Chains A and B, each alone.
Chain A
Amino acid sequence: MFQIYLPIAEMSVDIFLLLGMGGAVGFLSGLFGVGGGFLMTPLLIFIGVPPPVAVGSEVNQVVAASVSGFMAHWRRRQVDFKMGVVLLSGGTLGSAFGVWLFEILRELGQINLVISISYVFMLGSIGTLMMMESVRTILRRRSGTTARRKAHVHNWAHGLPFKMRFRTSRLYISAILPVGLGFFVGVLASLMGVGGGFLLVPAMIYLLGMPVSVVIGTSLFQITFVTAVATILHSANTQTVDVVLAGLLTLGAVIGAQFGTRVGAELRGEELRGLLALVVLGVCATLLWRLITEPSNLFSLSVVGLN
């Protein structure tokens, strides 16, 4: 109906389809407190956006999606800036490495494949974990028992060198851990267009042993800056950031997230979480199906030195 031309994706898309997708994913992220990048990139690929442009534009949108959350946590002093900066040092390196890998894979003609396979693995594992968690919680609630978790666990990670003190998190741990974690999430941001909160948050709690109160704010700090770095590096090196696409998705997502937050405050989480797990597994299965069915045309064209 109302087609809009996306100048970097070089295709025309219905403007309300994009707003609707932004709204739906924004609703889910408001409902569950997740970023939504891991759902948006595959959806963009499904509607025909070239996978590299889907990644580059989505990483730009995640900046918009995470910055206000970061500011809110900052105001409430729930950000461990020292930890954030250490994570970010690894994140910046990881993001640069990811863009470099992205360029090589594109020259080899394998970038679409790697993006799809990474998503199949990531969505498959998150979906399964979420489903297990939600089923377990529902069963536990019915049987009426509550499990208790130890507040602080000492593990192998505490034996590593280069120890640093993080006052806000009340931690004295090796810097290798947050730098390595930041690096890995940075690679994911550049290669898959996700903020990586789904991985950062549990890793910060269970691997680094950070107090839950500062985990969300600190992860949003890292996500905001790493996706900003990834956006600039992608713009400079791969020209895959479509600001028209990112802007429309953001517009939809901002509105959708407001409704999501309101609904989320009134509803019980476990059944909904199970539902989100089903959506994630469904997207994963669709991506896998596209990889294993024989394409209608085995051949494809690409111009040397162009996206």
Chain B
Amino acid sequence: MIRAHLACMAIALAVLSLGMRPATAQDLIADISNHLISITSDFKGTELLVFGAIEGGGDVVVVVSVQQRDNVIVRKKDRVFGIWVNAESAEFSNVTAFYAVAATSPLEELAAPEQLRLYEIGLDALRVEAEPDVDEAAKLEFLDALIELKQANGLYPVAPLHIDLVGERLFRVKIPFPADVPVGSYLVQSFLIRDGQVVGAQTSPLVVSKGGFGADLYEFANEDGALYGILAVLGAVMAGLLGNLMFRRP
């Protein structure tokens, strides 16, 4: 399922690259240090190394992202009778759950906004959509808040991720993932930009999933809640009785 999805994305990107200016396939080669990030019980965040080489000069941009499947509601608190209460809200679809971008030069110097938007490079290029009931003014305010919250949580890393080009050919960059990184099928896209145009692109799949005992429990709780609850009660009853037995006074 995930593989099929990725294959579709790869084909779509291949089709996109057909429309690009001529650049041989060898002009950009990229790979990542790890194709699977497993969130186990002691997970404290991690880094992903994206590395590669370019031929014939140019700038490199690396984008790591994953879409949120469900809609996201942004809520704003307001003071009601002296208490801070969730009041106004706005619902967004097609929200990017995690988005990191790294480049050899500042994005605005690399290409025109239209070109960046086409390849979804940079936060301004994200294709978030507000639900129909959200008016324009609210949309701007709540979208800014969404991006700020994501940045504060490390899900849209703000620290400028600079890519160093070694000898005009080799590049490498570390992408930081926080402890509460969302699970999903990520895309790691590397772009080669020359004279304001994207002339090469390469995509690597990255899967972030929960692993270990915690993941099994989470899955169990969400897929068979009633049985999970019955077992939770049985466990509590056993624990209560056992504790009583162990400490019973003679």
User: Which residues of A pack against B, CB within 8 Å?
Assistant: 3-5, 7-8, 10-12, 60-61, 63-68, 71-72, 109-110, 113, 117, 228, 231-237, 239, 241, 243-244, 246-247, 250-251, 254-255, 257-258, 291-295, 297-306
A-contacting 9-mer, from B156-164, B190-198, B214-222: B214-222
A64, A109, A239: the one contacting B240 at CB < 8 Å is A64
Judge whether B83 and A64 touch: CB under 8 Å: no
Given that A235-B226, A295-B77, A295-B84 are contacting pairs, would A303 and B68 also be in contact in the complex, using a CB cutoff of 8 Å? yes
Contact indicator A110/B221 (Cβ below 8 Å): no
- Closest partner residue, chain A, to B41 (CB atom): A5
Query: Cα distance A232–B146 when bound, in Å?
Result: 35
User: Could you tell me the distance between the alpha carbons of A257 and B247 in the complex, rounded to whole angstroms?
Assistant: 10
Given contacts A302-B72, A303-B73, 10 further A-B contacts (CB under 8 A): A3-B42, A60-B232, A65-B240, A68-B240, A68-B244, A232-B232, A233-B229, A251-B239, A292-B83, A301-B146
Nearest Cβ in chain A — how far from B148, in angstroms? 7
Q: CA of A134 to CA of B148 in the docked complex: distance in angstroms?
A: 50
User: Are B247 and A67 closer than 8 Å at their CB atoms?
Assistant: no
Task: Using CB atoms, name the residue of chain A closest to B82.
Answer: A292
Question: In the assembled complex, which residues on chain B have CB atoms less than 8 Å from the CB atom of A257?
Answer: 243
Cross-chain contact of B239 among A109, A236, A254, A258 (Cβ < 8 A): A254
Alpha-carbon separation in the docked complex, A63 to B91 (Å): 38
Using A7-B218, A109-B86, A300-B75 as known contacts, say yes or no to A60 and B68 having CB atoms under 8 A apart.
no
**B244: which A residues are within 8 A, CB to CB?**
68, 71-72, 254
B194 to chain A, nearest CB (A): 38
Inter-chain contact B229/A235, CB cutoff 8 Å: yes
Q: Which A residue's beta carbon lies closest to that of B83?
A: A291
Query: In the complex where A7-B221, A241-B228 touch, is A63 in contact with B85 (Cβ < 8 A)?
Result: no
Question: Contact: A228 with B233, CB < 8 Å?
Answer: yes
B229 with A232: CB separation less than 8 A? yes
A63 CB contacts on chain B under 8 angstroms? 233, 236-237, 240
Minimum CB–CB distance for B210 against chain A, Å: 8
A47 to B221, CA, bound (A): 23
B71 and A241 within 8 A (CB) = no
Which A residues are in CB contact (< 8 Å) with B229?
Answer: 231-236, 241
Is B217 in contact with A8, judged by CB distance below 8 angstroms? Answer: yes
Measured between C-beta atoms, what is the minimum distance from A237 to chain B in Å? 7
Chain A residues, Cβ within 8 Å of B41: 4-5, 7
**Taking each of A109, A236, A301, which has the highest tally of chain B beta carbons within 10 Å of its own beta carbon?**
A301
Knowing A231-B233, A236-B229, A301-B73, the reply to whether A8 touches B83 (Cβ < 8 A) is no
Give B contacts to A, CB under 8 Å: 40-44, 68, 70-79, 82-86, 89, 91, 142, 145-146, 148-150, 152, 179-180, 210, 213-215, 217-218, 221-222, 225-226, 228-233, 235-237, 239-241, 243-244, 246-247
- Dominant SS among interface residues on chain A: helix
Contact of A299 with B74 in the complex, beta carbons under 8 Å: yes
Q: Lowest 6 A-B CB distances belong to which pairs?
A: A235-B229, A254-B243, A68-B244, A232-B229, A5-B41, A64-B236
Closest to A243 in B: B232
Alpha-carbon distance A130/B83, docked complex (angstroms): 27
Q: Which residues of B contact A234 (CB under 8 A)?
A: 229
Given contacts A3-B42, A299-B145, A232 and B85 within 8 Å (CB-CB)? no
A64–B237 alpha-carbon span in the complex (Å): 5
Chain B residues with Cβ below 8 Å from A60 are 232-233, 236
A-B contact list, 24 entries, CB within 8 Å: A7-B217, A64-B239, A109-B73, A109-B75, A109-B89, A117-B83, A232-B230, A232-B233, A235-B226, A241-B232, A243-B217, A243-B231, A244-B217, A246-B232, A254-B244, A255-B247, A295-B77, A298-B77, A301-B75, A301-B149, A302-B73, A303-B72, A303-B73, A304-B91
Residues of A within 8 A of B179 (CB): 12
B218: which A residues are within 8 A, CB to CB?
A: 7-8
Q: Which residues of A contact B40 (CB under 8 A)?
A: 5
Contacts of B232 in A (CB 8 A): 60, 231-232, 235, 241, 243, 246
With A5-B41, A71-B244 as known contacts, state yes or no: A297 contacts B152, CB within 8 Å: yes
Report chain B residues within 8 Å CB of A294.
79, 84
**Which chain A residues lie closer than 8 Å to B210 at the CB level?**
7
- Given known pairs A294-B84, A299-B142, the reply for A247 and B73 (CB within 8 Å) is no
A232 touches B226 (CB 8 A): yes
Cα-based distance from A113 to B87 in the complex (angstroms): 11
Kindly list chain B residues whose C-beta atoms are within 8 Å of the C-beta of A246: 232, 236
Q: What is the CB-to-nearest-CB distance from B72 to chain A, in angstroms, rounded to a whole number?
A: 6
- Considering the complex, give the chain B residue whose CB is closest to the CB of A302: B73
Assembly CA distance A250 to B85 (angstroms): 33
